[in-house]
């Protein structure tokens, strides 16, 4: 563990790697390449389009042994942290665990008539299958759920607390394997090779502990906050829609109340298919007065189409549908 308190965005990336070389894994999982010269952490992150506060949050959390005092005080990017976790899955499943198995096969002395050696390999294969299932679940369900959250959508049948309740620590069986090799593996000419395997298993165990801690103490709280924000936005949107609907109804009612009795009579005549001249003769007014009334109706109702005026008249019970002239 480094003696440095907390890394900052102005630190040189090369300095923090030399301070704690295990952060090379953090870099690679965020997609940060080597060859960054004397650039600061902020500059290196910016050049690779990585959220700097999120990188520092993970680096400081791991560097300080998962201490709660190192937890970030600022918001982190859920999207950037999810990239980190996905790349970690690829590293474990496609590189680290296959490498350990290959070395384990090389280290096992097949000439020895001892069932322990084969049981160790069988136990390891069973463990890898369990890890694959664990991480596949997160890839298929947890990350898919979070991706929807990032788009402002909330699932009705899943939330991050379901992940928390079923999140087991996959490093525990690896600890059992390590202890079994140390205590029960028979003496062999390839002892140095098995020691090298053990060294890799110790590192993998430590890496998995860090991975689980990042999920529990950084990822889950960030997703909980995201869930809260999405729910607030959805509630606000639903409230706004209801207010708009209420306003629309009130505006329609207000517009109808503003109509004079004469204007309502003219609407009825229009939807019955009468011309301006026929309306004037029917109501004993001039054609000019009819036109003026129709303009006022259009302004009050914001309706300029005879078809929509017909719909309005029917909905507001000014006419019966049987009175409407088809083809208006």
- For the chain, the domains span 1-73, 77-252, 259-323
d(CA 143, CA 319) in angstroms, rounded, equals 57
Burial 185-208 (b: 16+ CB within 10 A, else e): beebeeeebbeebbeebeebbebb
Q: Taking residues 262-268, what's their average pLDDT?
A: 90
Of the ranges 62-66, 122-126, 207-211, 250-254, which one carries the lowest mean pLDDT score?
A: 250-254
Q: Is the distance from CB of 268 to CB of 292 less than 8 angstroms?
A: no
pLDDT in tens, 72-92: 666 789 999 999 999 999 999
d(CA 320, CA 310) in angstroms, rounded, equals 10
CA distances in angstroms from 223 to 120, 150, 260, listed in the order given: 38, 10, 57
d(CA 307, CA 273) in angstroms, rounded, equals 11
Could you identify the residue written with the tokens 């400081």? 60
Predicted local distance difference test score (pLDDT) of residue 199: 92
Predicted local distance difference test score (pLDDT) of residue 46: 95
Q: Which of these, 13, 20, 9, 59, lies nearest to 35 by C-alpha position?
A: 13
Angle at 89 between CA 121 and CA 119, to 5 degrees: 10
Check if CATH label 1.10.10.10 holds for domain 259-323. Answer: yes
Q: Taking residues 223-231, what's their average pLDDT?
A: 88
User: Percentage of the chain surpassing pLDDT 90?
Assistant: 33
Computed over its alpha carbons, how large is the radius of gyration of the chain? 36
Strand runs (DSSP E) across 266-307, as ranges?
none
Could you identify the residue written with the tokens 């109501």? 283
Quick one: pLDDT band at residue 53, thresholds 50, 70, 90? very high
**87 vs 164, higher pLDDT:** 87
Of the ranges 161-165, 190-194, 255-259, which one carries the lowest mean pLDDT score?
A: 255-259
Predicted local distance difference test score (pLDDT) of residue 231: 85
Q: How many other CB atoms are there within 10 angstroms of residue 54's CB atom?
A: 25
Q: Is the distance from CB of 81 to CB of 219 less than 8 angstroms?
A: yes
Q: Which of these, 139, 137, 145, 136, lies nearest to 227 by C-alpha position?
A: 145
pLDDT(118) > 90: no
Taking each helix axis from N to C terminus, what angle separates 220-258 and 78-91, rounded to the nearest 10 degrees?
140
């Amino acid at each position: 563990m480094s003696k440095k308190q907390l890394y900052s965005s102005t630190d040189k990336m090369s300095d923090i790697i030399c301070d704690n070389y295990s952060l090379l894994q953090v870099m690679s999982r965020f997609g940060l390449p080597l060859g960054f010269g004397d650039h600061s952490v902020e500059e290196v992150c910016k050049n690779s389009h990585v959220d700097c506060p999120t990188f520092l949050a993970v680096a400081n959390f791991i560097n300080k042994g998962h201490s709660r005092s190192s937890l970030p005080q600022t918001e982190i990017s859920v999207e950037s942290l999810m990239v980190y976790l996905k790349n970690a899955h690829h590293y474990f499943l496609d590189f680290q665990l296959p490498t350990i198995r290959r070395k384990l096969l090389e280290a096992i002395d097949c000439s020895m008539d001892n069932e322990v050696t084969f049981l160790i390999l069988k136990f390891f294969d069973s463990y890898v299958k369990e890890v694959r299932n664990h991480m596949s679940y997160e890839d298929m369900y947890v990350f898919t759920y979070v991706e929807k959250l990032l788009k402002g959508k909330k699932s009705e049948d899943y939330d991050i607390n379901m992940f928390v309740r079923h999140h087991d620590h996959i490093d525990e069986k690896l600890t059992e394997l390590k202890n079994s090799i140390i205590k029960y593996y028979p003496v062999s000419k390839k002892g140095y090779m098995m020691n090298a395997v053990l060294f890799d298993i110790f590192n993998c165990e430590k890496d998995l502990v860090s991975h689980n801690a990042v999920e529990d103490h950084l990822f889950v709280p960030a997703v909980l906050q995201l869930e809260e924000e999405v729910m607030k936005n959805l509630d606000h949107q639903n409230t706004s829609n209801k207010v708009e609907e209420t306003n629309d109804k009130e505006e329609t009612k207000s517009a109808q109340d503003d109509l004079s009795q004469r204007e309502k009579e003219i609407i009825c005549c229009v939807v019955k298919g009468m011309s301006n001249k026929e309306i004037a003769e029917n109501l004993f007014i001039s054609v000019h007065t009819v036109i003026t009334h129709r303009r006022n109706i259009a302004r009050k109702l914001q309706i300029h189409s005879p078809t929509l005026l017909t719909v309005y008249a029917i909905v507001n019970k000014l006419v019966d549908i049987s009175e409407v002239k088809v083809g208006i």
